[in-house]
Structure 1
Amino acid sequence: MTSNIVTEQLTDAGRRIEHDSFAIVDREAGPHHYNDQQWQVVRRIIHASADFEFNGLVRFHPEAVAAGLLAIRRGAPIVADVEMICVGLSTPRLDYFGVATHHFIADADVIAQAKAENSTRAVQAMRKAQQLNLLDGGIIAIGNAPTALLEVVRMTSDGLIKPALVIGMPVGFVSAAESKALASELRDIPWMVIDGRKGGSTLVVAAIHALLALAEAEQTQLG
Structure 2
Amino acid sequence: MSYIKKPQDIEIRSFEIIEEELGEKVHEFSAQHLPVLKRVIHTTADFEYADLIEFSDDAVQSCLEALKKGGKIYCDTNMIVNGLSKITLDKFNYSAYSLVADKDVASEAKERGVTRSIVGIEHAAKDKNTNIYLIGNAPTALFRLKELIDSGEVEKPALIVGVPVGFVGAAESKEILPGSGIPYIIVKGRKGGSPVAVSILHGILYQLYKREGF
Counterpart of 1:7? none
Q: Deviations over 1:77-103 (max 9, x none)?
A: 110001000000111111111111111
Q: Does 1:29 align with 2:22?
A: yes
Asked if the contact 1:41–1:211 (Cα under 8 Å) also holds between the matched residues in 2, the reply is yes
Report whether the alignment pairs 1:46 with 2:41: yes
1:93 aligns with 2:88: yes
The one-letter code matched in structure 1 to 2:179 is E
The equivalences for 1:1-223 within 5 A come to: 13-32=6-25, 33-135=28-130, 138-161=131-154, 162-187=156-181, 189-216=182-209
Deviation of 1:134 after TM superposition, in Å, equals: 4.0
Gaps in structure 1 of 5+ consecutive residues? 1-11, 218-223
- Gapped regions of structure 2 (runs ≥ 5): none
* Alignment deviations for residues 143-192 of structure 1 (CA, whole Å, 9 cap, x no partner): 011100111111111122221100000000000000001122311x1000
| C-alpha distance in 1 between matches for 2:200 and 2:6 | 23
Identity %: 38
SS in 2 for 1:77: strand
RMSD: 1.3
Q: For structure 1, which segment, 63-72 or 150-159, has the greater mean C-alpha deviation from structure 2 after superposition? A: 150-159
Aligned with 2:179: secondary structure? coil
Q: CA deviation at 1:30?
A: 2.8
Aligned residues: 203
Note the alpha carbon deviations across 1:104-129, whole angstroms, 9 max, x for none.
00111111111111110000000111
Give the Cα–Cα distance (whole angstroms) in 2 for the partners of residues 214 and 155 of structure 1. 30
How far off its partner does 1:76 sit? 2.2
- Structure 1 length normalisation: TM-score? 0.88
Please tell me whether the aligned partners of residues 45 and 203 of structure 1 are also in contact (alpha carbons under 8 angstroms): yes
TM-score, normalised relative to structure 2: 0.91
1-structure distance, mates of 2:129, 2:76: 13
